[in-house]
Amino acid sequence: KKKSGGFLRERTAKIYNSFVLSKPRIDIERGKYFTESFKTTEGQPLILRWAKALYHIAENIPVYIDDHQLLAGRVGCQGKYGLIYPELDGCFLDQLAENVKNRETAPFYLADEDAKIINEEIAPYWKGKSFYEDLAHSLPEDVLKVTYNPEDIYTQRFIVSETSSMRSALQWVHDYETPIVKGFKAIKEEAQKELDALDPLEPTDMIDKAPFLQAIVIVSDAIVLWAKRHAVLAKEMAAKEKNAVRKQELLTISEICERVPEYPARNFREAIQCQWFTQMFSRFEQKTGATVSNGRMDQYLYPLYKKDLDDGLIDAEQAKGLLECMWLGMAQYLDLYISPAGANFNSGCAHWEAVTVGGVDENGNDATNELTYVFLQSKREFPFNYPDLAARIHERSPERYLYEVAETIKDGSGFPKLINDEEVIPLLIAKGADIASANTYAVSGCTEVRMPNLDTFTSACPYVNLGAALELALNNGRMKMYGDELLTIETGELKDFRTWEDFWKAYLAQQQYLIKQAFKQQLIVVRLREKHFAAPMGSSIHALCMKNKKDLHSAHIDGGIDLGYFDFIGYGTVVDSLSAIKTMVFDNNKLTLEKLNEILDKNFEGYEEIRQMLMKAPRYGNNDPEADAIAKAIDLDGVKFAHQYSKKMGFNLDLRYVPVTSHVPFGKVVGATPNGRTKGTFLSDGSSAAHGADVKGPTAILMSNYNSKNRGFFERAARLLNIKLSPAVVVGEEGTHKLMSIIRSWCDLKLWHLQFNIVNQATLLAAKKNPERYKDLLVRVAGYSAYFVDLSPELQDDIIARTAHATL
């Protein structure tokens, strides 16, 4: 008899091979049915329109069960696909066919007949109605100037970028436990009961609560209807199936889809199918990008796993096989960005459907269990870029867990990323969370965290280009890329800066000006979004939405915690540049500021010696007090601004260092920088050191990260930290233990995030040269892993240029 594991591995290989070489297709069905419904519901409350649109999709969209699959359903056509969300960025649809053809990264295929439907039925309806256009037209002139080109609002300037027009919601974690434990029938019945109990004479009941509750009823019906269509399809397929084994599988699939998500799941497999339906449906509902995270799967799936294990109904191999079926389903949904800026910010089809494992339970005790290890093993045996695995670490994480985490990291695909309970939980509590919600947070997206029933902030974040702030300070409010136009404020001519403090003041004034614009931009985003987006399904499984009868996208929900962020991009680059200015211009009088700027204008051509000299100044990432002091001062300005102004806006807007891949397009608009970086090249990523600047090993990087934080402020969010290691460093048992101890040190230092690339420089260079031979090479980019050969050439260079540490 074949071992179940062997059988399942064969299955996953077959599914994988069925799509891996397919060119991603733009699937217009979701956009088409959504638009069809919206045309018929104008004037109605938005949440009701959304629920009706989802029902229309559920009723009409093609349903699929793939060959060999154990889980039913897809969100789009067979093979790899991306969906369109015209309500978000429909204004780019008329150029879609052209843009997609020309785009360097992640090209998609758009069928001619689909382009016709887009051009005739979808794009014209949304022109003038999309969120993108409303936002662009709502920005005051000074904010607009640093966001888009005022002459052409479809072009970003990459100085202060909004990302909310690229997704309908920030990365998110649904409370998957609710549909698994309760089912949508019960959710619907509760809503119906409350609807029946409303006072028909009470205006707020009728205007606010009634549409919300009606929407919950409709959307619960919609997801159940859609699931049941899979039950019918599975039965039809079974009737035609010749192979007896597959016939039986299809009949089982049919029974499961009859049951979930309508009713509570009774076993592990039903729970997985229920989660998968919910996850998929949320992609119909809105573009959360590829960041609909999966939550703490080793926790909410554990009770049914344990029960099945005890009853002898499942073993670890079968569980892994089912999970792999889900990862393969997820892998076929690609995050399609219609706007060119969105594509630039997410090179390599960035995705972070984070699955969280480990951490503490609601009482603060270690929460690892047998299922935790199944996820880690699965990641080693199935080294695929889905799902994005995140391991929560706390000071009492068991040795075995740390050992398996380290072993998994050593496999080199960049998984799992690590998130530190010792940093995250106290910050969540400081921001108002109850202890149990804070303890049970789930990782979301790259590095963020969510409390699925307490978090209520869904607006995506603004990015602040620190490289631009520096260039603006050096050029009195102008940037070479944008000619003579005064983009910000005049902070002085170079000749007038007599001391380091004079220049530092000018830099800070530019940085602060950009932060100010980012905050104004974000306030407008938050106010506009509730007019454009609703999420009845997401709301139906969020305790506070249900309690307050308010959609998840409301600007504020009582009892909720609004955890927003703004990002500093290019931190290491700018710290080192300021350090070079301080040391070489002011402390050592090696050259004047004017001369330096002249050399930057020439992109160091003819000045290699000076470039080398500038690179000798203290640099961030080496536990150097001088460089780290500058880093801390930059950070202080950000957290202080947030401390003073974010609450007044009614939400947290905390300082974060998570670039995704924005440090590449942001670098493109910034001229040469005093740290020796040449014009147009990428900036440093997250809170990592600038490329090649960190020469003292990983512990020194951790220390710089620690030194540069302002721990007296709680207006701090994630700090993404990449460390690249040569594989030789972690060889054997000794290597595993070295990795474990660096993880322990990182945990002790209470740093938020850490992830490793364990790859040889030679391998990366060879992969760049001969991509066809390295199709499987996975690398960690910025909170997610991607196939190296899928990245843009600039991003490949970024990863090659990161320091590869040869010692630990």
User: What residues from 653 to 692 belong to the interface with ligand 8X3 (CB under 6 A)?
Assistant: 658, 660
Stretch that binds ligand 8X3, among 91-99, 442-450, 604-612, 759-767 (CB under 6 A): 442-450
* Of residues 163 and 372, the one with the C-beta less far from ligand 8X3: 163
Closer by beta carbon to ligand 8X3, 49 or else 663: 663
Q: Looking at 118, 461, 664, 743, which residue binds ligand 8X3 (CB under 6 A)?
A: 461
Which of 156, 171, 704, 722 touches ligand 8X3 by CB under 6 A? 171
Binding mask 552-591 for ligand 8X3 (x = CB under 6 A): ----------------------------------------
CB of 220 to ligand 8X3, least distance (A): 28
**In the beta sheet, which residues pair with residue 417?**
390
- How many residues in the chain? 808
Give the shortest CB-734-to-ligand 8X3 separation in angstroms.
Answer: 34
* Residue placing its CB nearer to ligand 8X3 in the complex, 226 or 441: 441
Cis peptide before 416 (omega within 30 of 0): yes
CA distance linking residue 716 with residue 792, whole number of Å: 31
Only segment of 196-204, 262-270, 426-434, 440-448 that touches ligand 8X3 (CB under 6 A) = 440-448
Indicate whether 448 belongs to the interface with ligand 8X3 (CB under 6 A): yes
Tell me the HSE value of 224 on the side-chain side, using a 13 A CA sphere. Answer: 18
**What DSSP string runs through 72-90?**
---SSSSSSEEE--HHHHG
- CB-nearer residue toward ligand 8X3: 339 or 675: 339
| Contact partners, residue 419, CB within 8 Å, separation at least 6 | 356, 390, 391, 392, 393, 443, 447, 449, 752, 753
Tokens of 621: 């990432």
CB of 565 to ligand 8X3, least distance (A): 7
Task: Find residue 293's DSSP bridge partners.
Answer: 173
Segments of 183-242 assigned E as strands: none
The neighbour count for residue 315, using CB atoms within 10 Å, is 15
Angle at 69 between CA 66 and CA 73, to 5 degrees: 55
CB of 522 to ligand 8X3, least distance (A): 12
Distance CA 167, CA 489 (A): 31
Determine contact, residues 133/339, Cβ cutoff 8 Å.
no
Shortest approach of ligand 8X3 to residue 799 CB, angstroms?
Answer: 18
In the complex with ligand 8X3, the residue whose CB is nearer, 72 or 461, is: 461
Residues 726-745 that bind ligand 8X3 (CB under 6 A): none
For ligand 8X3, give the closer residue by CB, 171 or 517. Answer: 171
Residue 523 or 660 with smaller CB distance to ligand 8X3? 660
- Direct distance between the N- and C-terminal alpha carbons of the chain, in angstroms, rounded to an integer: 46
* H or E element that contains 473: helix 466-474
Residue of 446, 461, 545, 747 marked active site: 446
Q: Of 190, 283, 164, 183, whose CA–CA distance to 529 is shortest?
A: 164
Q: Tokens 């690590």, residue?
A: 418
Q: CB of residue 289 vs ligand 8X3: minimum separation in angstroms?
A: 7
Contact between 170 and ligand 8X3 per CB under 6 A: yes
Look at the block and give the residue holding tokens 């619960």.
220
Shortest gap between Cβ of 717 and ligand 8X3 (angstroms)?
A: 9
Q: Is 388 in the site for ligand 8X3 (CB under 6 A)?
A: no
Closest CA to 724 of 693, 751, 747: 693
Sequence-distant (6+) residues with CB within 8 A of 770 are: none
720 binds ligand 8X3 (CB under 6 A): no
- Of residues 51, 336, 446, 479, which one binds ligand 8X3 by CB under 6 A? 446
Shortest reach from residue 128's CB to ligand 8X3, in Å: 27
> Which residue lies nearer to ligand 8X3 by CB, 216 or 660?
660
Q: Tell me the backbone φ, ψ of residue 29, rounded to 5 degrees.
A: -55, -50
Catalytic residue flag (residue 446)? yes
- Ramachandran angles phi, psi of 148, nearest 5°: -120, 170
Which window, 163-171, 332-340, 411-419, 621-629, contacts ligand 8X3 (CB under 6 A)? Answer: 163-171
- By beta carbon distance, the residue nearest ligand 8X3 is 445
Residue 501: Cβ-neighbour burial (10 angstroms; 0-12, 13-18, 19+): exposed
Residue 745 is inside which H or E element, if any? helix 732-748
Alpha carbons 304 and 321: distance in angstroms, whole number: 16
Task: Write the binding mask 775 to 794 for ligand 8X3: x where contact by CB under 6 A, - elsewhere.
Answer: --------x-----------
CB of 550 to ligand 8X3, least distance (A): 23
Interface residue with ligand 8X3 among 211, 414, 445, 564 (CB under 6 A) is: 445
**Mask: binding to ligand 8X3, 262-301, rule CB under 6 A, as x and -?**
-----------------------------x----------
**Subset of residues 296 to 355 that bind ligand 8X3, contact rule: CB under 6 A:** 352
Smallest distance from ligand 8X3 to CB 223, Å: 25
Closer residue to ligand 8X3 (CB): 450 or 549:
450
Q: Could you tell me which of 696, 692, 616, 521 has the C-alpha nearest to residue 136?
A: 521
Per annotation, catalytic residue among 194, 448, 530, 715: 448
The first and second tokens of residue 692, run together, are 């090649």
Q: How far apart are CB 145 and ligand 8X3 at their closest, in Å?
A: 23
Span of 173-181, 205-213, 431-439, 441-449 interacting with ligand 8X3 by CB under 6 A? 441-449
**Residues paired with residue 719 on neighbouring β-strands, in sequence order:** 657
* Helix ranges, 490-624 (H): 500-532, 536-540, 543-548, 571-580, 593-601, 608-614
Residue 163 or 785: which CB sits closer to ligand 8X3?
163
Nearer to ligand 8X3, 108 or 345 (CB): 345
| Phi-psi group of 384: left, alpha or beta (phi > 0 → left; psi -120 to 50 → alpha; rest → beta) | beta
Nearer to ligand 8X3, 563 or 610 (CB): 563
Give the residue carrying structure tokens 């309806």.
Answer: 125
- Using an 8 Å Cβ cutoff, are 402 and 740 in contact? yes
Has 448 been annotated as catalytic? yes
Q: Which residues contact 710 (CB under 8 A, 6 or more apart)?
A: 632, 635, 636, 639, 716
Q: Residue 658 CB, nearest distance to ligand 8X3 (Å)?
A: 5
Is residue 651 a contact residue for ligand 8X3 (CB under 6 A)? no
Helix, coil or strand: residue 107: coil
- Which of the stretches 212-220, 276-284, 443-451, 483-491 binds ligand 8X3 when contact is defined by CB under 6 A? 443-451
For ligand 8X3, which is the closer residue by CB, 257 or 781?
A: 781
Q: In which element (H, E) is residue 647 found?
A: helix 625-649
- Give the shortest CB-288-to-ligand 8X3 separation in angstroms: 9
118 contacts 91 by C-beta, under 8 angstroms: no
Strand partners, 442: 450
Total residues in contact with ligand 8X3, by rule CB under 6 A = 13
Catalytic residue set: 446, 448
Q: Which residues bind ligand 8X3 (CB under 6 A)?
A: 163, 170-171, 291, 352, 445-446, 448, 460-461, 658, 660, 783
